[in-house]
Structure 1
Amino acid sequence: MYAEERQQAMVELVTEHGRLSVAAIAAQFDVTTETVRRDLSALERMGLLRRVHGGAVPASSLAVIEAGLGERDQANTAQKELIAKAAIDQLPPAGGTVLLDAGTTTARFAGMLPRDHRLTVITHAVPIAARLAVQPQIELYLLPGRVRTTTQAAVGADTVAALAPLRVDVAFLGTNGITLGHGLSTPDHDEAAAKRAMVTAARLVVCLADSSKVGSETAIRFAGLDEVDVLLTDSGIDATDRAAFEDAGTEVVVA
């Protein structure tokens, strides 16, 4: 089957089912997940479907689909573990200050923070704060705001205002999607505003994102690639995407 025929069949299949995962599409057409992601990116550029986290929906879908924390925590668990472990190397020296964004990979990272490495941690994520509150080497600050049910993160004007005067050593961020043209993005306006404020507050910005996020775009852009110092991802990232990100000035570290 030629690429054009496969892509047309993908559009028909996604339209028929309403939503399909990258893995399901790869199995259906007996191709790699990297091939599927390239096809989906091409089809999205043509306006024939829309990419979402881990798959695609018909272009006619107007509602933004945002998976809950529990659902996202079950996806790509092995890759997230590797990324979280690799993120330890990005910590500042003992006594430094870090911002931890909400997310399933950042939550794993929080659970791996060394017990002999003193840090000040600032977060808006309730699950991360609960995990770190009992660790004596962590001086913990929980940002104010309205807590979203979907991500269990504080957002809103109070959150952004609390971040405004801060200057931290490293911000560890999650993202729903990352592309060369659209940068880092998320579906929610308030979530994007909090992430944007974290980027502004940090000397070093590190994004923890498994390769399923690469090539995916959601509604609200919160950072350009030129604002991200390091992208920590897994070996599923396509070589072309990696080269493009590095050309844009982002160091790509494969866990």
Structure 2
Amino acid sequence: MLAAQRKTLILTTLRTDGRVVAKDLAAELGLSEDTIRRDLRELAADGLLHRVHGGALPASPAVADFTARTAIGTGAKAEVARTAAALIRPGQTVVLDGGTTARELARQLPPDLRATVITHSPTIAVELATHPTVEVIIVGGRLFKHSVVAAGAVAHEAIGRVSADVFYLGVTGIHPTAGLTTGDADEAAIKRAWSERSAETYVLGSGEKIGAASAFEVVPLAAVTAVITDSGADPRGVAELRAAGVEVVS
């Protein structure tokens, strides 16, 4: 079997099974594990999958830069944002993560909502600048341009002085075994810090993120209150999350 054929089979297996186990695929094809691992490395280098111990998982499309992500799953993100906005109560202190779904959530907040929103995202702050009754607090730091959020030691120190009712967390991957992941270690640390300073954490998880994985864990699935997804999310992926003990809201 040619390399191109093997790679097509690997990607097809990822779509149908949600994972590839190198040992099993090598045995099925009568090839060495080294051959399959080489194919996985090359596909990972092209951003087509995420390598894990023993095989691979689907790569998240949400690792693209902020501008590119604005065109991904816009309807699904709006649905997730509406569900999330309905959970916010007057008087709460709410942390909004950066990202395109969180920006949509900011747009969906009721015009009469009285609450405090804390964010390390300039784009979120700008969205809420004209909201008449939401107080906005911005956490600063080094600008991580990929996601247009503050990161680094300054941001981390400021977060450590905050206590919030609820954190709306954005991630690039939501997987029943890999957990909640994102593509940058520093950004993962900031997200983790927000979750630790919040009484509840809801994950903004539009369907393209479910079943996918990225390189850096944010928090374990057990650490969050629920995953909010859209009605078009893959039923198998949602069922696997629920089987892992995760509450999924849609």
Contact 2:112 2:132 in 1 (8 A): no
Q: Tell me which residue corresponds to 1:186.
A: 182
Contact 1:177 1:185 in 2 (8 A): yes
Q: Does the alignment pair 1:221 with 2:212?
A: no
CA distance in 1, matches of 2:196, 2:234: 29
Encode CA deviations 1:37-91: one digit per residue, 9 max, x unaligned. 3445226897553788xx72596xxxx9941111011011111111111111221
- Judged with a 3 Å threshold, the aligned counterparts in structure 2 of structure 1 residues 13 and 250 are, in CA distance, closer, same or farther, namely closer
CA distance in 2, matches of 1:153, 1:184: 19
Contact 2:207 2:233 in 1 (8 A): yes
Q: Does the alignment pair 1:37 with 2:28?
A: no
Q: Tell me which residue corresponds to 2:121.
A: 125
Q: Tell me which residue corresponds to 2:66.
A: 69
Superposed displacement of residue 115, structure 1: 1.1
Percent of residue pairs bearing the same amino acid type: 35
Of 64, 80, 84, 2:81 maps to 84
Q: Does the alignment pair 1:138 with 2:116?
A: no
Contact 2:210 2:238 in 1 (8 A): no
Q: Does the alignment pair 1:154 with 2:150?
A: yes
Code of the residue aligned with 1:11 in structure 2: it is K
SS of equivalent residue, structure 2 residue 166: strand
Encode CA deviations 1:208-246: one digit per residue, 9 max, x unaligned. 111111121111101111011111112333333323322
TM-score normalised by the chain length of structure 1:
0.78
CA distance in 1, matches of 2:72, 2:22: 22
- Judged with a 3 Å threshold, the aligned counterparts in structure 2 of structure 1 residues 141 and 13 are, in CA distance, closer, same or farther, namely same
Give the unaligned 5+ runs of structure 1.
Answer: 15-24, 30-34
CA distance in 2, matches of 1:123, 1:178: 22
Contact 2:50 2:214 in 1 (8 A): no
Give the unaligned 5+ runs of structure 2.
Answer: 26-36, 52-59
Of 192, 198, 205, 2:201 maps to 205
Of 53, 56, 60, 2:48 maps to 56
CA distance in 1, matches of 2:197, 2:147: 21
Superposed displacement of residue 159, structure 1: 1.1
Q: Tell me which residue corresponds to 1:105.
A: 101
Code of the residue aligned with 1:101 in structure 2: it is D
Contact 1:100 1:121 in 2 (8 A): yes
Contact 1:37 1:215 in 2 (8 A): no
- Judged with a 3 Å threshold, the aligned counterparts in structure 2 of structure 1 residues 109 and 159 are, in CA distance, closer, same or farther, namely same
Contact 1:88 1:113 in 2 (8 A): yes
Superposed displacement of residue 9, structure 1: 4.1
Code of the residue aligned with 1:148 in structure 2: it is F
CA distance in 1, matches of 2:96, 2:216: 20
- Judged with a 3 Å threshold, the aligned counterparts in structure 2 of structure 1 residues 58 and 204 are, in CA distance, closer, same or farther, namely closer
- Judged with a 3 Å threshold, the aligned counterparts in structure 2 of structure 1 residues 247 and 156 are, in CA distance, closer, same or farther, namely same
SS of equivalent residue, structure 1 residue 95: coil
Give me the CA root mean square deviation. 2.8
CA distance in 2, matches of 1:237, 1:248: 17
SS of equivalent residue, structure 1 residue 192: helix
CA distance in 1, matches of 2:135, 2:6: 50
- Judged with a 3 Å threshold, the aligned counterparts in structure 2 of structure 1 residues 226 and 87 are, in CA distance, closer, same or farther, namely same
Code of the residue aligned with 1:145 in structure 2: it is G
Encode CA deviations 1:102-148: one digit per residue, 9 max, x unaligned. 01011001011111110100001111111112222111110011111
TM-score normalised by the chain length of structure 2:
0.79
Superposed displacement of residue 36, structure 1: 5.5
